[in-house]
């Protein structure tokens, strides 16, 4: 499964385009975000992606979960969104 990493400075429309491409190619994707700003941008991107794929008859669902990731040798808690068709 393809993992897209989102930061607080990510452009939601750009992330949405990348997410839509991954969904068309693989069917599902994972979006990871660390911090409130990054989670905000990720949620906006997922909402925009729903609009991108809806004309093709795809209804997206998103399942949020916590995950532990390593950044610069440090364990951090991230939010991961599993995104796929309903």
What's the number of domains the chain is made of?
1
State the pLDDT at residue 5: 96
- Say whether pLDDT at 83 is over 90: yes
Report pLDDT for 1.
76
Banded pLDDT at 2 (limits 50, 70, 90): confident
Instruction: Check which CATH number belongs to the domain holding 76 and give it.
Output: 3.30.110.20
How far is C-alpha 50 from the chain's CA centre? 11
pLDDT in tens, 4-60: 999 999 999 999 999 999 999 999 999 999 999 999 999 999 999 999 999 989 999
Q: Looking at residue 36, what DSSP letter applies?
A: H
* For helices 12-26 and 36-53, angle between their N-to-C axes, nearest 10 degrees: 60
Rounded CA gap, 58 and 56, in Å? 6
Domain that holds residue 12: 2-85
CA 5 to CA 23: how far, in whole Å?
Answer: 15
């Amino acid at each position: 499964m393809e993992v897209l990493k989102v930061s607080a400075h990510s452009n939601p429309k750009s992330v949405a385009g990348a997410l839509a491409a991954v969904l068309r190619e693989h069917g599902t994707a994972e979006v990871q975000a660390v911090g409130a700003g990054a989670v905000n941008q990720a949620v906006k991107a997922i909402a925009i992606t729903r609009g991108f794929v809806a004309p093709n008859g795809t209804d997206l669902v998103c399942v949020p979960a916590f995950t532990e990731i390593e950044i610069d040798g440090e364990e951090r808690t991230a939010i991961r969104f599993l995104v796929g068709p309903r």
